[in-house]
Structure 1
């Protein structure tokens, strides 16, 4: 069995790309590379989408190795996957690959037998959403592979056969509900928890887990920006010094995919629209202090424009703060106190929307239509995006509960 790996590539002009290669030789696989180039990369999809597509194709090649078949040779003869092979592939697509298993803790489920005995069964399966995505990509790739290898020599009936194979695969995808056990609006943080996080991260606070004064100042500023601006992780890590316009009192959110100035292997990306977000004098002062007194002390930081940098001594000191370092920072926060386990960067975005709704309601200065437009702009969404409702659901539920209680009280008073 040929071991495969996903190789990350960065071109001179900054564009990031990925290829499925032989782990032994480093040579890219021809047809997966062709598919990614013509069907994924050419569509303008992000490098993370390319990563996901290649991960699914990697599962497909692992399955064919386990079955002892060669899909390219098989399709070249005009034979496609049979029903039993599709069933086997679908079942295989739910598994974690061997290298994935090493990175994930195995879940143990207890099974009760009729005799009253219990046995433990280890499961190494992915979630329904992951399997759904895998099968969707695999079906597209198999359709592409079959069409490519037909080379115009097979009758038009084969087109229907290829379509039928793809449809059978897609029909076997697991059902994925849009309604999760925990509503997305509940992923926001209580405002008291947010205030407590900021209190513990205040420089020189006795429970601050970071010892360096510069790191303390940087981390407090990061959480402050997440709390007060509601920006995404990628938007935060993509910020440059030049994006802070002190003369106008705004922070600019700018899309810079494949920037040649970004040395990070996995470039943080801005997924939303470009916009200017106002910042008050306090935020401007904190940003100015960090730029002039912390960031400027690192020689490497003078070679790039990115705002937040690594402080840890070593070869990466002064480089742009990476996604992995940011993740370790958030993990450290989760261990500061009880109740902090749910803290993650995106939760601050939900919290911002909840707090914004309450402030708008209390001020009473906007119509619902105006509020939606303002929120959409500040969050980087289109004015017609339904994402506004998703992030505002927590506040809507509270307003609905309040209205219902008032209605019930009114009915009770009439009866009395």
Structure 2
């Protein structure tokens, strides 16, 4: 069982799940077509989360659609002992177990997929058909069995470890400044790296958003800004995977000093890099060879920074670390500005281009946890001081 990527001549990309004989598996691929608005990487992830489901079904001789449409359904033991264990296994090493977040994602995707099959089967029968009631019952039972296995997770400090502290941000900016030191062999490369990293750090761009920016998306003048736009697939873009704006478009203001560096990069250094290629490109961030910068090259830049700034940036420093840093820094700044929790979530969603306020909770909860821990340490210090002075207050 494997996932392949199909590219349409117009530029649209769609992953497909194949069986052991290399033939498409109809139901998962049809289900995915209904989610074709998602990014190809997200679609591939969804299919990968269905692979354990179909591996379990194949090893037990189970036809999922036939079981549902025929009304036989599944026993609780099949789901809770068989399927659940299959979803816990690591796809590369069956002796290992996946983390709780991956397991929960698999549960959610498989649950949504089985609900979709149930809906398809219900649509094939008349409303008064007894099989319809049985299919609805199967859907409810499977939903209960799967949702009961969701693993609760505390506020994570793991994501926080990816974010840079204020001192680390300052060290990174100083190191990358092309007039001080910079990263790269030429001034043009140093300027490119500085602009790319600063846009992610100071605007919270995802890697796909940064690499999808075009020169025309930058506005200079009295109020400089950058416009994150949703565009149709670019058939001329040969990068794999192709960068893409996955969330909401937005226009973000730019600090005049940052805008000056971007302007200098566009007018001088980007032109120097483009001279290395026979083809012109509208994309803002280009490689040393004058082509649109790829995602793998962006990661390579972060790996170089890890080596150059060893100890001054987190060990797992990556493009996503910069977005984490932006989100946590903005959460603190919004709280200092006096915004309540709901308004902070709304502001973060607008700045990050998210459609869901729930996705901001992790940053708000982490900030609340840090304040709670700070208060706890002060409380402990007060009591220890009283004890040390033989003035126990209880």
TM bucket (normalised to shorter chain) is 0.7 to 0.9
2:225–2:252 CA contact under 8 A, matched in 1 = yes
Please name the residue that 1:117 is paired with. Answer: none
CA distance in 2, matches of 1:82, 1:250: 58
1:249–1:280 CA contact under 8 A, matched in 2 = yes
CA distance in 1, matches of 2:335, 2:3: 49
Alignment deviations for residues 271-302 of structure 1 (CA, whole Å, 9 cap, x no partner)? 44333222234323322332233332336484
Please name the residue that 2:89 is paired with. Answer: 95
CA distance in 2, matches of 1:148, 1:140: 12
CA distance in 1, matches of 2:115, 2:369: 45
Q: Which residues of structure 2 form unaligned runs of 5+? A: 387-394
Q: Please state whether the residue corresponding to 1:198 is helix, strand or coil.
A: helix
Superposition pairs for residues 13-412 of structure 1, below 5 Å?
13-22=10-19, 25=22, 27-38=23-34, 40-41=35-36, 44-71=37-64, 78-86=71-79, 87-97=81-91, 100-101=92-93, 123-145=95-117, 148=120, 151-152=124-125, 156-170=129-143, 171-173=145-147, 174-182=149-157, 187-203=162-178, 210-247=184-221, 248-256=223-231, 258-260=233-235, 262-296=237-271, 297-298=273-274, 300=277, 302-311=279-288, 317-336=289-308, 337-338=310-311, 339-356=313-330, 368=339, 372=344, 377-380=350-353, 385=357, 390-391=362-363
Alignment deviations for residues 116-140 of structure 1 (CA, whole Å, 9 cap, x no partner)? xxxxxx9422122222222332234
CA distance in 1, matches of 2:46, 2:138: 19
Q: Please state whether the residue corresponding to 1:263 is helix, strand or coil.
A: coil
1:249–1:278 CA contact under 8 A, matched in 2 = yes
Moved more, 172-181 or 145-154: 145-154
Q: Do the aligned partners of residues 189 and 125 (structure 1) sit closer, same or farther apart at CA in structure 2, a change above 3 Å counting?
A: same
State TM-score, norm by structure 1. Answer: 0.72
**Per-residue deviation, 1:341:** 0.8
Q: Please state whether the residue corresponding to 2:227 is helix, strand or coil.
A: strand
State TM-score, norm by structure 2. Answer: 0.76
**Per-residue deviation, 1:189:** 1.5
Q: Do the aligned partners of residues 394 and 149 (structure 1) sit closer, same or farther apart at CA in structure 2, a change above 3 Å counting?
A: closer
1:330–1:344 CA contact under 8 A, matched in 2 = yes
Q: Do the aligned partners of residues 268 and 149 (structure 1) sit closer, same or farther apart at CA in structure 2, a change above 3 Å counting?
A: same
Q: State the superposition RMSD in angstroms.
A: 4.0
CA distance in 2, matches of 1:21, 1:194: 45
How many pairs does the alignment contain? 372
CA distance in 1, matches of 2:335, 2:118: 57
